[in-house]
Chains A and B, each alone.
Chain A
Amino acid sequence: MTFTSRAESEPTPIQALVRVLGDARDVGRLGLRTLHYLMRGKREKGAIAAQMLAVGNRSLFFMCVTMGFIGAIIAYQSGLQARKLVPDFSMIGATFLKLLVRDLAVSVGALPLATRVGAGIAAELGSMVVTDQVDAMRMSAADPVDYLVVPRFVACLIMGPALLAIGGLVAFGSGTLVANLAFDVSPHTFTNLTFVHLGDLALAALKAVTYGAAIALVSAQRGLATFGGSEGVGWATTEAVVGSCFAIIVLNLILSVIGFFLFPA
């Protein structure tokens, strides 16, 4: 079988831009349909809980390990840079926490979440598409958005922020440990919430919810757009991860600018 996925082609910059805008349009349409079915749809009992388990509980260990390493790396690099500027580590915890709460815990944490959850959603939906299960649902007058996308969307919307909150805590813990071991900063000194304000937390919550929704919608859109058999599923999965990460970065920029005006640092 001759199959050429979008990922295999080498588009010009303009073609790539057009493709990205087209994908954004498709994701937007899928989002609107998802919201519509979220209000009026009929879902299978326990479908959302099952998806929450898959998205949340089964990603917890991966998220904790990843965020633990990320927190340790950020604390160590911050300490190295701080030591070059001022020989004073008393405020390193305060700046670390500010950075972690306002941006890194959610924005950096959302990237491994996108790889873990987004790939799963795209692969699952892509497999259903290539095995004609989605077409069968359509023939049974069951909209796949209602039965497949909405539970995953709701699961990501709830479990995404929950995982990012727990991941942030783990990152802070590992950062505290590294600061203590590498720079002799006591945990009490490191735990300094002076620079963190409620606005930072509100901005982090807004980002977490938005990223959760973006991961679900981008991955579902790529999964439902799968074609070309098992190889197509592989490419759909890759595109879902790339698209989710790209969406997270673009959304981070937009939300950071909004947050700059709503919750000044």
Chain B
Amino acid sequence: MKGLSVEVRVGLLVLTALVLLGGFVFVLGGFELGDQYDLYVDFDNPGNLKPGAPVTAGGIQVGRVADVEYRGGRLDERTGRRPLVRVHVRIDRNVQDTIHENAIFYVASQSVLGEQMISIDPGNPERPPLEEGAVVEGVDPPRLDLAFAMAFELLEGMTELMRDNREELMSAFRSAGNLIRQMDELLAENDGRIDRIFANLERATKQTNEVLDGANGIVNGPRLERTLRNVDRTLAAVAADIEPLMRDVRSMAERGNEALATLGPEQRQEIQQAISQAADLTEEANATIADARAIVSHIRQGRGSVGGFVMDEEIYDDVQEMLRDLKHNPWKLFWRE
């Protein structure tokens, strides 16, 4: 160094500083030497994501955020969506084939206090890769600020409520305490009964289950199916026959009306008399039937000669024995020992 001129020595120092500064600017500016391609990710709120933030896939940096644009819900005719924020990311070309159409883009943090970045879940390899310039929907980061604000509001409301209604709350707590104590005493006094209730409930549940199993067997069995099929068939036949039947009934009723219209008052009186006679006849027939029923009942009970003959097994056996004996010894009809 001693042999160098003043200008050279000064120049070397300045050059060193300039190289350092230039290198720093180069690194900070995020200038990439490799080939990259563009993707656009829509978010409603990407948090504190800034241009220059890293883009990682599987924890490895594969690109950077080039721009964060506020779109304010304006319609994007290309996608038909109304994104609030669109993030432009530049990703290394050599990983393009690994980021697929169903890839998930979400905002993550490098550490607890770290800067936010975009993390990519590359998606299913069976799906085609995302094309250059594609616009995808990203997953917003959790809004901790919103959660804190809501929690704070809730706590504040609760505090205010407790402060304004201290007496009522104390009274309610006291009542609740008394209620619990009384419930406890009640349960202790009726311990055996409650056990029985639960045992009954258990039994009832078991029986219900059995009934339901049986019902399931019936519902799922062939018999019900067959019955339903028959009902179906019957209904179909009824539906087919009902119309002509109704037609016949209607015509019969019309004819009856016509016939009644042709009758004079005398004839109607005769008919009424005939009907009343028929009613008397029916009454008598009913009485006769009742008598017959009584006789039959008598016979069934084995009372009377006929009853004894018909209902007594012994007489039947005797007669049968006698007939068999007569068959073998017909002479007994004529000759008595």
Contact = CB atoms under 8 A, between A and B. Distances in A.
B114 interface: yes
B27 A86 contact: no
A49 B12 CA distance: 12
Contacts of B27: 193
Contact of A90 (B25, B53, B114): B114
A88 B114 CA distance: 10
A57 B10 contact: yes
A162 interface: yes
A198 B28 contact: yes
A56 interface: yes
A94 B110 CA distance: 11
A60 B16 CA distance: 12
Interface in B106-151: 110-115
Contacts of B335: none
Given A165-B21, A198-B28, A56 B114 contact: no
B240 interface: no
Contact of A162 (B14, B110, B111, B115): B14
B7 interface: yes
Interface in A168-206: 169, 193-198, 201, 205
A157 to B, nearest CB: 12
Main SS class of interface, B: helix
A35 interface: no
Given A90-B111, A165-B17, A197 B52 contact: yes
A161 interface: yes
A53 B14 CA distance: 10
B114 A166 contact: no
Interface of B: 6-7, 9-10, 13-14, 16-18, 20-21, 24-25, 27-29, 52-54, 110-115
Interface of A: 46, 49-50, 52-53, 56-57, 60, 86, 88, 90-91, 94, 158-159, 161-163, 165-166, 169, 193-198, 201, 205
26 contacts: A49-B7, A53-B6, A56-B10, A57-B9, A86-B112, A88-B111, A90-B114, A91-B111, A91-B113, A158-B14, A162-B13, A162-B14, A163-B17, A165-B21, A166-B17, A166-B20, A193-B28, A194-B53, A194-B54, A194-B110, A194-B114, A194-B115, A195-B115, A197-B52, A201-B21, A201-B28
3 smallest CB-CB distances across A and B, nearest first, come from A162-B17, A52-B10, A165-B17
Given A90-B110, A91-B114, A197-B52, 8 more contacts: A50-B6, A56-B13, A57-B13, A90-B111, A94-B114, A158-B14, A162-B16, A196-B28
